[in-house]
């Protein structure tokens, strides 16, 4: 396992939004290297954290420091999309805060054999949980050309998606695509780099496959819905996203849930109008919080980060 440090993104802003306090229980849905979890536990000596990650690497790392917080830290190997089941298994009904730091950790990118990065020639895997589900190789070798093109277009926001899907289908008819290098070379053969391009032409295709392999957007939708149900009144939801697809999901969720209920229409009876438009959150900040210039310089990974936060309102 590579030991590249993962610098927590927007840590001060996350703590300011979450406001850890005595006797409260928080969920860190994305344990990773434990940057947020430890900072929350350090911010108040009497709070507790339930830290979830579906990647065993995060848990192996936590085994090295978890004892420092004995009795206050519970580690859970699961997907945050299963938040309610994970909490039920711990007989926890509700929590005071939920924080998510989406995407892949630096360790996952830097562990070449995980297949997340075209910087290393490795098996085309990309699963955060290495014991479950389809790999990126399964997708590129078995998916039909059109759905593959759609996947690359939607999740990678790649304009050349049709050319890439066609090149993948041609290449796999000759030999199975099993490595990151094979895939990157196929993409590079159809997406040409202009000298002004700052990113490798295969970046967007790799992002698309990673999102699909890990059902990242479905997981996000599930955890947001669960957050509405498990947060106590006054509980805080804090989400850091790294690309527009994730941010749009959080923004749309909060826009809907934190929007003032429309005034009752003359034409719609109150009983029908009320429940689905109930206001369940208030925004902590109207606009997303962005990293400071200084943080962006120190930690380039933070450049695309956006933090959105909201407070759970009481049920009426």
Ligand X SMILES: C[S@@+](CC[C@H](N)C(=O)[O-])C[C@H]1O[C@@H](n2cnc3c(N)ncnc32)[C@H](O)[C@@H]1O
Interatomic CA distance for residues 279 and 75, integer angstroms: 32
Find the DSSP H helices in the chain: 11-18, 35-43, 56-65, 83-89, 106-110, 136-142, 145-156, 161-174, 180-190, 203-213, 216-230, 244-257, 270-273, 293-298
Check residue 19 and give left, alpha or beta (phi > 0: left; psi -120 to 50: alpha): left
- Name residues whose C-beta falls within 8 Å of residue 161's C-beta, 6 or more positions apart in sequence: 149, 150, 152, 153
Identity of the residue, 58 or 95, whose beta carbon is nearer to ligand X in the bound complex: 58
Q: How far is the CB of 48 from ligand X (least distance, A)?
A: 17
Identity of the residue, 6 or 48, whose beta carbon is nearer to ligand X in the bound complex: 6
Q: Are 26 and 4 in contact (CB under 8 A)?
A: no
Residue 52 binding ligand X, by CB under 6 A: yes
Residue 32 binding ligand X, by CB under 6 A: yes
Residue 178 binding ligand X, by CB under 6 A: no
Residue 58 binding ligand X, by CB under 6 A: yes
Query: Which positions from 204 through 233 interact with ligand X, judged by CB under 6 A?
Result: 219
Q: How far is the CB of 143 from ligand X (least distance, A)?
A: 22
By CB under 6 A, which span of 54-62, 144-152, 158-166, 308-316 interacts with ligand X? Answer: 54-62
Identity of the residue, 130 or 251, whose beta carbon is nearer to ligand X in the bound complex: 130
**H/E run at residue 165:** helix 161-174
Residue 309 binding ligand X, by CB under 6 A: no
Q: How far is the CB of 100 from ligand X (least distance, A)?
A: 8
Residue 291 binding ligand X, by CB under 6 A: no
Interatomic CA distance for residues 304 and 45, integer angstroms: 32
Q: Tokens at residue 311, please?
A: 């407070």
Residue 26 binding ligand X, by CB under 6 A: no
Identity of the residue, 126 or 310, whose beta carbon is nearer to ligand X in the bound complex: 126
Query: Which positions from 127 through 146 interact with ligand X, judged by CB under 6 A?
Result: 128
Query: Which positions from 250 through 289 interact with ligand X, judged by CB under 6 A?
Result: none
**According to CB under 6 A, which one of 27, 47, 50, 55 is a site residue for ligand X?**
55
Q: Are 24 and 96 in contact (CB under 8 A)?
A: yes
Q: Are strands 231-241 and 48-53 parallel, antiparallel or unpaired?
A: unpaired
Identity of the residue, 80 or 281, whose beta carbon is nearer to ligand X in the bound complex: 80
Q: How far is the CB of 238 from ligand X (least distance, A)?
A: 11
Q: Are 73 and 66 in contact (CB under 8 A)?
A: yes
Q: How far does CA 304 lie from the centroid of its chain?
A: 13
Q: Are 158 and 204 in contact (CB under 8 A)?
A: yes
Residue 34 binding ligand X, by CB under 6 A: yes
Q: How far is the CB of 165 from ligand X (least distance, A)?
A: 26
The residues of the shown chain that bind ligand X, judged by CB under 6 A, are 6, 8, 30, 32-36, 52-55, 58, 79-81, 101, 103, 105, 128, 219
């Amino acid at each position: 396992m590579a030991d590249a440090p993962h610098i927590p993104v927007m840590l001060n802003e996350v703590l300011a939004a979450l406001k850890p306090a005595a006797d409260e229980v928080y969920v860190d849905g994305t344990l990773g290297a434990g940057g947020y979890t430890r900072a929350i536990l350090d911010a108040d000596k009497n709070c507790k954290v339930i830290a979830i990650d579906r990647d065993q690497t995060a848990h192996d790392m936590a085994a090295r420091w978890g004892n420092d917080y004995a009795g206050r830290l519970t580690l859970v190997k699961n997907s945050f999309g299963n938040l309610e089941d994970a909490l039920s298994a711990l007989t926890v009904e509700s929590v005071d805060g939920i924080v998510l730091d989406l995407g892949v950790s630096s360790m996952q990118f830097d562990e070449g054999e995980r297949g997340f990065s075209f910087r290393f020639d490795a098996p085309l895997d990309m699963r955060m949980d290495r014991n479950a589900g389809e790999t990126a190789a399964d997708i590129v070798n078995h998916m039909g050309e059109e759905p593959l093109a759609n996947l690359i277009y939607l999740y990678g926001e790649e304009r050349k998606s049709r050319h890439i899907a066609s090149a993948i289908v041609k290449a796999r008819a000759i030999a199975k695509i099993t490595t990151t290098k094979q895939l990157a070379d196929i993409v590079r053969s159809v997406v040409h780099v202009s000298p002004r391009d700052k990113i490798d032409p295969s970046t967007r295709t790799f992002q698309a496959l990673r999102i699909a392999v890990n059902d990242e957007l479905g997981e996000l939708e599930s955890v947001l819905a669960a957050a509405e149900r498990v947060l106590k009144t006054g509980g805080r939801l804090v989400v850091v996203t790294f690309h527009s697809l994730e941010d749009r999901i959080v923004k749309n969720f909060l826009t809907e849930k934190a929007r003032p209920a429309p005034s009752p229409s003359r034409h719609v009876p109150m009983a029908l109008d009320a429940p689905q438009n109930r206001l369940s959150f208030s925004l902590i900040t109207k606009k997303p919080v962005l990293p400071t210039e200084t943080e962006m310089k120190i930690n380039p990974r933070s450049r695309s980060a956006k933090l959105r936060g909201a407070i759970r309102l009481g049920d009426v």
